[in-house]
Structure 1
């Protein structure tokens, strides 16, 4: 193996480490955004579902994405594991990098389960999502499937990872229903505020750092140091998203709401993920600004629609993922489009062709993930004794105690005061 090949493999392996560490960001983000009686549960389920995603991806997920097959699904390379040195990217390095993305998509999907789903529901859905939902969409776009043949642009996963996960999260929120006390009989909503905004902010920062592995690692090499440009557009979009979200929520409510600011940064990151290698720096800023605005109005919309989304997965990963996917159809430059695949965007003389391909990818991928997840969850709800949601008493006590037998904060909360306060 020559030096460049070795450096390429080291870079992609570093990308895997950064993306895997994003799970720590999700733990803090989700735990901080929910109530303390569920904090230990959220932390624990993230770890074991990453384990499930890893085993399923090794067994069938990677093969369904990258195996030889047809335009719909791959049908080889199951139970991946052979090692052979090569002059390019070593197979095991590519495999483990792709595995980290599958685990992130699953974690996003579980945002729709927060504070009300049984542990058994997490386990079963983790297996089925990792085998039959994420790999199919990934094959269509990254594995040589029909959307790839159309020229779909999704450099690091605004559609493949974020929209897919969010569509499954939407199915879960509908099947499970809102948390106890979230909505009143007159249709108004109550703010079931998360217990630790510091955790949430730190989680966002960890995700932000990890995104340089997410996007930068997706260059799959160090030649030309293109990862630096990808990192630059990533940083600019995240920054613009945080700023625009802060300004819009302040203008609309009179308060600089912290969760909205944090979600603005994440929305900018999600939006730029598809287009990071296709757009100029000024466009990255515009993409981030629009993502920050969209995420605020999306959060308000879902709340008024009585869809209970405690982690804001639908807004941050779904709506921003849609915008990010479509943005390449507007802003992809001729030079970057030629280098990375696809056609230039509308604003660079490319007409509506690439935008149409991007829209096709959004509709088909989002619908597939939502419908299959909805059917799976409905069947699970019928098959699992008592359904996939915990009982009212268990939800009031909290999933820490009802599902695991101990609290994440044992010195601060007890079963007795939890029943009295619903803390």
Structure 2
């Protein structure tokens, strides 16, 4: 995986290192101080020596990776809060299972498909990924290969989590997990190779810094394909009248999940700088953190105001999704926007949520947690918005990338869901849905003391 930035800056820091070496021991002979400065200068060519840059870059991947891994907990809590009480255990089970499957599949085949031997093409190689030997290093790459694999792996788990929330409360466990195997092992890695693996879209100049399209829209397209074939929850869209509201089990849990996701996003976007061995890189990571936070805040405030204006009251679930939509929107380019531009980009994401949720209701597409507006539609918006602040991107190439990812992911997902539906079935029975998947699919109820007919 190539760096977005070089690991070395230049002579100014080398000069500062020479000054520091002299100041370190003012009583030393001038010759000794000069020798110390000469020794320090090469190491300071980019602020630190190659060995130190290797350590810092690896640390960035590891810290960013475990922050993104923490997003798995955020998705689990968000979904647990937004589904009904009788389906909470199922969502928790799906989220821990999909994370484990993603980790295995991305080692078995996913990483190599995405990054090994793509060379401007459409796909990498079919092989497990090999880490550095014990005690070994990869100074030629500038970071530990295992740290890079871990950082990339947690991204694919994020894509799978998006599908989980949309299809909640009516999908069978094992068909969902089988789809997760194919999504994390093949669909996502092949799509990711086109840009991040140095494939054909990368050659065209397509820009997607941390994955508004590569991660979020890919997950959104897969979720949409599943939702269309799975159908809506029983009673969600009556033949006449407005859609039936099905309130979730716990707004506090959903809010906690949102804050966890917001926190994890600093690793998602910040560590996508891919380097921390120079002053420039550390400054850029800091700027990415700030823009990421501003965009989320913009999404929240935009949703708040718009909901009050349109509905004369504020739906907390839409505000939560406004924050997430702001985060998704800035993910395609969190570095180059000014603070005001970051706020506006995130605010548009919040607006998308407010208008897209009722639009899906009109289309009778049942998206339990609002993942399609947040991840698919806001992801598309964020990718289109890149040229507004990044002069290296073009609207035409961005649109080509959006369409390519959309067609590939939606069509392949539709085929996979269709095969699963025709063979083992993907939907529980009406009776099982009415009883709740905790009792019928999992066997462990999240809130047994509140279950109907229980003491």
TM-score, structure 2 normalization: 0.85
Which of 74, 81, 85 in structure 1 is aligned with 2:137?
85
Residue 385 of structure 2 is matched in structure 1 by 327
Is 2:185 the counterpart of 1:164?
no
Gap regions ≥5 residues in structure 2: 1-49
Could you report, residue by residue, the CA deviation over 1:300-355 in whole angstroms, capped at 9, with x for unpaired residues? Answer: 100111100011010000110000000002222x4xxxxxxx34xxxxxxxxxx11
Residue 418 of structure 2 is matched in structure 1 by 378
Is 2:323 the counterpart of 1:265?
yes
Residue 337 of structure 2 is matched in structure 1 by 279
C-alpha spacing 1:42/1:2, structure 2 compared with 1 (3 Å):
same
Residue 123 of structure 2 is matched in structure 1 by 73
Residue 7 of structure 2 is matched in structure 1 by none
Q: Does structure 2 retain, via aligned residues, the 8 Å contact 1:29–1:202?
A: yes
SS in 2 for 1:103: helix
Structure-to-structure mapping, 1:341-380, within 5 angstroms: 342-343=392-393, 354-380=394-420
What is the CA–CA distance in structure 2 between the aligned matches of 1:79 and 1:286, rounded to whole Å?
A: 40
Residue 42 of structure 1 is matched in structure 2 by 91
Q: Which has the larger radius of gyration?
A: 2
Deviation at residue 221 of structure 1 after TM alignment: 2.1
Deviation at residue 367 of structure 1 after TM alignment: 1.4
Which of 16, 23, 29 in structure 1 is aligned with 2:78?
29
What is the CA–CA distance in structure 1 between the aligned matches of 2:325 and 2:177, rounded to whole Å?
A: 28
What is the CA–CA distance in structure 1 between the aligned matches of 2:215 and 2:73, rounded to whole Å?
A: 17
SS in 1 for 2:147: helix
Residue 177 of structure 1 is matched in structure 2 by 231
Gap regions ≥5 residues in structure 1: 335-341, 344-353, 419-423
Is 2:415 the counterpart of 1:408?
no
Is 2:452 the counterpart of 1:390?
no
Structure-to-structure mapping, 1:100-179, within 5 angstroms: 100-179=154-233
TM-score, structure 1 normalization: 0.91
Q: Does structure 1 retain, via aligned residues, the 8 Å contact 2:225–2:413?
A: yes
Q: Does structure 1 retain, via aligned residues, the 8 Å contact 2:167–2:227?
A: yes
SS in 2 for 1:269: helix
Q: Does structure 1 retain, via aligned residues, the 8 Å contact 2:132–2:138?
A: no
Could you report, residue by residue, the CA deviation over 1:47-94 in whole angstroms, capped at 9, with x for unpaired residues? Answer: 011111111100110011001045110015534334331221111100
Residue 20 of structure 2 is matched in structure 1 by none
Residue 339 of structure 1 is matched in structure 2 by none
Deviation at residue 8 of structure 1 after TM alignment: 1.5
Is 2:59 the counterpart of 1:10?
yes
What is the CA–CA distance in structure 1 between the aligned matches of 2:167 and 2:293, rounded to whole Å?
A: 30
CA RMSD across the alignment: 1.4
Deviation at residue 256 of structure 1 after TM alignment: 1.2
SS in 2 for 1:2: helix
C-alpha spacing 1:169/1:316, structure 2 compared with 1 (3 Å):
same
C-alpha spacing 1:80/1:311, structure 2 compared with 1 (3 Å):
farther
What is the CA–CA distance in structure 1 between the aligned matches of 2:323 and 2:190, rounded to whole Å?
A: 29
Q: Does structure 2 retain, via aligned residues, the 8 Å contact 1:67–1:77?
A: no
What is the CA–CA distance in structure 2 between the aligned matches of 1:323 and 1:185, rounded to whole Å?
A: 33
SS in 2 for 1:142: coil
Q: Does structure 1 retain, via aligned residues, the 8 Å contact 2:258–2:320?
A: yes
Deviation at residue 417 of structure 1 after TM alignment: 6.8
What is the CA–CA distance in structure 2 between the aligned matches of 1:167 and 1:244, rounded to whole Å?
A: 25
What is the CA–CA distance in structure 2 between the aligned matches of 1:187 and 1:61, rounded to whole Å?
A: 46
Is 2:288 the counterpart of 1:239?
no
Q: Does structure 2 retain, via aligned residues, the 8 Å contact 1:59–1:80?
A: no
SS in 2 for 1:134: helix
What is the CA–CA distance in structure 1 between the aligned matches of 2:303 and 2:289, rounded to whole Å?
A: 21
Residue 255 of structure 1 is matched in structure 2 by 313
Tell me which moved more, 44-53 or 179-188. Answer: 179-188
What is the CA–CA distance in structure 2 between the aligned matches of 1:90 and 1:309, rounded to whole Å?
A: 39
Q: Does structure 2 retain, via aligned residues, the 8 Å contact 1:69–1:76?
A: no
Could you report, residue by residue, the CA deviation over 1:251-308 in whole angstroms, capped at 9, with x for unpaired residues? Answer: 1101011011111110000000001123222211110111111111011100111100
Q: Does structure 2 retain, via aligned residues, the 8 Å contact 1:329–1:356?
A: no
